Structures are given as C-alpha cells and as structure tokens.
C-alpha cells in the first residue's frame, strides 16, 4: 500500500519570504499523480498543484512550485513571496494512475504560519 509522509508538523515563514514543505512517499507503481492541497481555517480543501509522475518537468502554479524527485520519491512544495493568505494546513497526497484508483492517500499535513 502506498504511504505519504510529511515530516514537518509545523513551519513558519516571514511574509514575502520563501518556504519549502517536504513530502516523501512510498509506492511500487511507476505511474501516479501527486498533489498538494491547502486547507485554510475555513476547512475548505483547495488544490494547489498537481504533478504527473511521467512528467519530468516540475509543475508550477504562480508562486507555488514543486521539486519532484521520482527516484528519491520526494515531492516538496516551494512557496515564494509568502503571503498572509498562505497560512493554512498543507497536505501532500498520492493517487494511483490506474483507472480503478482515484483514491487519494494523504500525508499527515503541515501547518504553515505566516508572520507579518
């Protein structure tokens, strides 16, 4: 079974600075998807970024980018120019590529605090 590990329970960053959240996963599959979700205090889950394992290029969405290291099974999220609105709990998630999959396996989450 796949597992996702987020080793940082909490992180802090100064406004306008850069922070990196770590995520590692374990799988025997070669094709899969990886996601970062944001859960602000409202508790609404928001997709931040996704990465297909077969793509070597790291995904980027505005201030959010990932460092995907397939061999190391690592998938970190970098947030540049941090804003107060980035404060939230961030979850790394894995999904099998296979059709019957579609289930998301979540990590434990990292609480990100942004200081003004």
Partner 1 sequence: GAVVSQHPSRVICKSGTSVKIECRSLDFQATTMFWYRQFPKQSLMLMATSNEGSKATYEQGVEKDKFLINHASLTLSTLTVTSAHPEDSSFYICSGLSYNEQFFGPGTRLTVL
Residues that bind partner 1 (CB under 8 A): 42-45, 47, 50, 89, 91, 102-104, 106-109, 111
Q: How far is the CB of 72 from partner 1 (least distance, A)?
A: 22
75: nearest Cα among 91, 96, 98:
91
Q: Which pair of structure tokens corresponds to residue 52? A: 């297909």
Match 């990100």 to its residue by tokens.
112
Backbone φ and ψ for 6, nearest 5 degrees, come out as: -115, 110
Q: Could you tell me the smallest distance in angstroms from the CB atom of residue 13 to partner 1?
A: 19
Cβ-based nearer residue to partner 1, 16 or 46: 46
Q: Which is nearer to partner 1, 16 or 104 (CB)?
A: 104
For residue 15 the two structure tokens come to: 């406004």
**Shortest separation between residue 41's beta carbon and partner 1, angstroms:** 12
Q: By the 8 A CB rule, do 28 and 1 touch?
A: no
Q: Output 44 or 116, the one with its CB closest to partner 1.
A: 44
Smaller CB separation from partner 1, 29 or 81:
29
Q: Are strands 10-14 and 110-115 parallel, antiparallel or unpaired?
A: parallel
Report whether 67 contacts 58 (CB < 8 A). Answer: yes
Question: Could you tell me the smallest distance in angstroms from the CB atom of residue 104 to partner 1?
Answer: 6
């Amino acid at each position: 079974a796949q597992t996702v590990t987020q080793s940082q329970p909490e992180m802090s960053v100064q406004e306008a600075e850069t922070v990196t959240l770590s995520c590692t996963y374990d799988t025997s599959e070669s094709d899969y998807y990886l996601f970062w979700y944001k859960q602000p205090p409202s508790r609404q889950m928001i997709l931040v970024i996704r990465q297909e394992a077969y793509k070597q290029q790291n995904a980027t969405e505005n201030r959010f980018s990932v460092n995907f290291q397939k061999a190391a099974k690592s998938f970190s999220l970098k947030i540049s120019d941090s804003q107060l609105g980035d404060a939230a709990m961030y979850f790394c998630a894995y999904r099998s590529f296979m059709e019957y999959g579609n289930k998301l396996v979540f990590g434990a989450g990292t609480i990100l605090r942004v200081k003004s």
